Structure 1
């Protein structure tokens, strides 16, 4: 565990620090008693000073608890230093396996995805990330996740940095429209829509399947920007992993155009926000 590595390093710095301070002060006392002069005794303060630095490092490691910097090095795909040439894409989870790494009792998983890039070409890759138990449904096979990759090594995937989430959302919406899985105005709703909470009134399968997505005629009730309780319907195409989030009677997060409440999208649970 990262926690165990942090404890080991803290104890290592602490032990070296105490040993160097004790040894340095002992040396200084010995030289002073042998020579009767302070100048030679200062040689003992050199290792003592180094030991003090080790103690400060140990205290710093203790203050950051579970080794935050090491967590970034050892753990998952989110990389704030991702190079500017990194490409954004949308991946569909095909499977996942647990690794041997755990951080703060949260296990790391190796997630296999089929990825569709900006040019709509597909390839496969792997993403390592920490997934808490309540997030497991968001990385189930069939779920879509925005990912980043380097052109020279597309098989290794990364979480999309926070500053590029909007870019990932826009790409996702464009691809959904191109594949016939979303309304052409979905991107506009995602950008200009206001968040509301609706209640699913009915959810009727159409019998149509596109790109492996199930077609549904959904009717939801919500309060619009004018304070009126309205019912609106739309046809949606969802992966199997998300069908349960739109059960009749369930509350659902949505975005609705403030000037046209017939235009809305669902915001379903995932590790990184995507809208349908």
Structure 2
């Protein structure tokens, strides 16, 4: 759709400029007193002006990030594209604004659905109140095209289940979790637990540290039981499992020894 609009704008511009040139080159004064420059300075001059304005507006409003901001959806070429995980490396302003909201260029390290890692960029309009969230290390779901992996778009589908599936597969590939634990998180009872102890065995995997957490879990009926759980966490998330913190846990009633913690990705 974007390519079609841009093509139509360029075709119109070519026809408008061609009509103006044809009129100027073939113009013949109506009398000996009529200046020859009127062949160029007349109503036909509006054609290239209108065409230039139209081309600029079309390319501006179909620029990367502008269409998605205006429609709230990914563009057609990315709408059904594979979903990946983009880790923010850096970002900067492009100088473009829409309704006083800046457009930013975000540099990502993207992990595709097949596990391959590649660098990519995205341009998007970000509300001023959300700029502080774009810190290096933040993970965001992105849409990418395998045939053009250098350009991505932030996923605007709102399909959190699909994003969670991609995250789960990524964590399994990296050895951070297992399918059994993911099944517990999906089917198990959701409960609150208090961290009673925290030890760090020293194992590091993919920049994540293994932590062993002692928990006091509260059942739905108000009773409690104690257990422990191991989890690989990035350094920034260790603070979420300090002693005394309340965390979200999942467990199956028939096996209270196996408890899975839910820690936000960008905690």
Report the TM-score range of the alignment, normalised by the length of the smaller protein.
0.5 to 0.7
The 8 Å contact of residues 218 and 235 in structure 1, kept in 2 or not, is answered as yes
Q: How does 1:20-59 map to 2 (within 5 A)?
A: none
| Structure 1 portions without partners, runs of 5+ | 1-70, 272-276
Alpha-carbon distance in 2 for matches of 1:76, 1:214? 41
Alpha-carbon distance in 2 for matches of 1:224, 1:150? 45
- For the residue of structure 2 that corresponds to 1:207, the secondary structure is coil
| Structure 2 portions without partners, runs of 5+ | 1-64
2:67 aligns to what? 73
Which of 81, 92, 102 is the matching residue for 1:86?
81
Q: How does 1:87-236 map to 2 (within 5 A)?
A: 87-98=82-93, 100=95, 109-127=104-122, 128=124, 130=126, 136=132, 139-162=134-157, 164-236=159-231
Residue by residue, what CA displacement relative to the aligned partner does 1:171-195 show, whole Å, maximum 9, x if unpaired? 2112211211113323213322343
The 8 Å contact of residues 194 and 215 in structure 2, kept in 1 or not, is answered as yes
Task: Note the C-alpha offset of 1:160.
Answer: 2.6
Structure possessing the higher relative contact order (Cα contacts under 8 Å, 6 or more residues apart): 1
1:264 aligns to what? 260
Task: Note the C-alpha offset of 1:111.
Answer: 3.0
The 8 Å contact of residues 212 and 229 in structure 2, kept in 1 or not, is answered as yes
Cα gap change, 1:79/1:202 in structure 2, threshold over 3 Å: closer, same or farther? farther
Cα gap change, 1:190/1:170 in structure 2, threshold over 3 Å: closer, same or farther? farther
Alpha-carbon distance in 1 for matches of 2:156, 2:253? 29
